[in-house]
């Protein structure tokens, strides 16, 4: 496949590109500014809305991951950048794809489980209506911005990503230093559900959506077993073999991080990957603790990594 990827240097894209190329696919990265390489290329300018796909060559698929990082205090300027990078960026890209003589058959466009807002213990699937709040509003507009591609008969998949777990960056990497010092603990009540997915499964889900022609519209990219924040805390502490008895009160989260802390850390969304599993996708890491052990390359106390998805550690008996 010839695949155009935006956000290729981001948390997911930086692992997706080498995975695709190792699998024999050709990747064209959508970059800002003028082209810096020979051969097929694509550029865009988010200040002017210009997208140049004229040198990208024929495309079999597009993966759109670009967007401003939400892990920052949401000032009015930050909120504008978060929204515009997703909504306007997606609209401009989709308009450019729609103008191609031979548009790609599929666009996998990142979205987020933030679309569901704060929903407590409710079990949420792709049929659940959007919630309320800044993130929910942005996600709803983000998905709607792909309409030019849909009108051109491009199969659009809105990949509603949960918390993507990797030691290379994102939420887990930020938590590790504190937890390794034994200073970790639940946030607020700890009863809020965090819908998560291991990076390995997120990458596989993207490839699955590129190839699976039955999938279009919203697709939840989360592990089948969401964890409460308290369960997440306990699992991470167990993997690191550290205590985790230092709770962070909800008022402190709101004081330090404002609206972002309330919506991204204290809100609860118990999301199920119904459409992924119905389409035949098999998770490598459906359970949290084995996923963390794989990502952090940690053995259980007195034993070996023994999940089916992970190879045994050196010196372990795999018979």
* For the chain, domain boundaries: 2-296
Cβ-based neighbours of 5, under 8 Å, separated by 6 or more: 13, 16, 17, 20, 27, 28, 29, 30, 62, 63, 65
Coil, strand or helix at 213: coil
Query: Rounded to the nearest 5°, which phi and psi values hold at 290?
Result: -60, -35
Task: Determine the distance from the C-alpha atom of residue 206 to the mean position of all C-alpha atoms in its chain, rounded to a whole number.
Answer: 10
User: Looking at the predicted structure, is the pLDDT value of residue 31 above 70?
Assistant: yes
pLDDT digits (tens, 9 = 90+) for 277-288: 999 999 999 999
pLDDT digits (tens, 9 = 90+) for 243-290: 999 999 999 999 999 999 999 999 999 999 999 999 999 999 999 999
Q: Are 266 and 188 in contact (CB under 8 A)?
A: yes
pLDDT digits (tens, 9 = 90+) for 147-171: 999 999 999 999 999 999 999 999 9
What superfamily does domain 2-296 belong to in CATH?
Answer: NAD(P)-binding Rossmann-like Domain (3.40.50.720)
Using 50, 70 and 90 to split pLDDT, how confident is the model at 217? Answer: very high
Query: What average pLDDT does the chain have?
Result: 92
Cα distance from N-terminal residue to C-terminal residue, the chain: 38
User: Looking at the predicted structure, is the pLDDT value of residue 298 above 90?
Assistant: no
Using 50, 70 and 90 to split pLDDT, how confident is the model at 40? Answer: confident
Q: Are 156 and 149 in contact (CB under 8 A)?
A: yes
Query: Rounded to the nearest 5°, which phi and psi values hold at 5?
Result: -125, 125
The fraction of the chain above a pLDDT of 90, given in percent, is 88
**CB burial class (10 A; 0-12, 13-18, 19+) of residue 113?**
buried
* Residue 305 pLDDT: 41
The fraction of the chain above a pLDDT of 70, given in percent, is 91
Mean pLDDT of 191-199: 98
Using 50, 70 and 90 to split pLDDT, how confident is the model at 95? Answer: very high
């Amino acid at each position: 496949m010839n695949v155009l990827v935006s956000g290729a240097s981001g948390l997911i894209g930086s692992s997706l590109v080498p995975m695709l190329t190792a699998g024999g696919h050709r990747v064209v990265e959508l970059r800002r500014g003028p082209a810096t390489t020979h051969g097929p290329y694509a550029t865009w300018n988010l200040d002017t809305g210009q997208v140049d796909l004229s040198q990208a060559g024929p495309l079999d698929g597009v993966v759109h991951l670009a967007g401003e990082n939400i892990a920052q205090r949401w000032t009015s300027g930050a909120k504008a950048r978060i929204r515009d990078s997703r909504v306007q960026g997606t609209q401009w890209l989709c308009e450019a794809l729609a103008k191609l003589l031979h548009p790609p058959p599929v666009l996998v466009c990142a979205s987020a489980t933030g679309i569901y807002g704060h929903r407590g213990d409710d079990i949420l699937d792709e049929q659940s209506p959007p919630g309320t709040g800044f993130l929910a509003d942005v996600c709803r507009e983000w998905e709607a911005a792909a309409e030019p591609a849909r009108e051109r008969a491009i199969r659009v998949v809105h990949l509603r990503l949960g918390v993507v777990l990797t030691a290379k960056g994102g939420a887990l990497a930020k938590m590790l230093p504190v937890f390794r010092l034994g200073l970790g603990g639940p946030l607020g009540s700890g009863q809020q559900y965090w819908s998560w997915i291991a990076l390995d499964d997120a990458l596989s889900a993207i490839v699955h959506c590129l190839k699976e022609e039955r999938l279009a519209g919203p697709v939840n990219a989360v592990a089948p077993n969401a964890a409460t924040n308290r369960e997440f805390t306990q699992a991470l502490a167990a993997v690191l073999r550290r205590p985790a008895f230092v709770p962070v009160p909800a008022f402190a989260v709101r004081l330090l991080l404002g609206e972002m802390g309330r919506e991204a850390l204290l809100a609860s969304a118990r999301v199920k990957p119904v459409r992924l599993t119905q389409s035949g996708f098999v998770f490598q890491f459906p359970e949290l603790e084995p996923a963390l052990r794989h990502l952090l390359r940690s053995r259980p106390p007195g034993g070996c990594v023994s999940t089916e998805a992970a190879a045994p550690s050196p010196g372990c008996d795999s018979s």
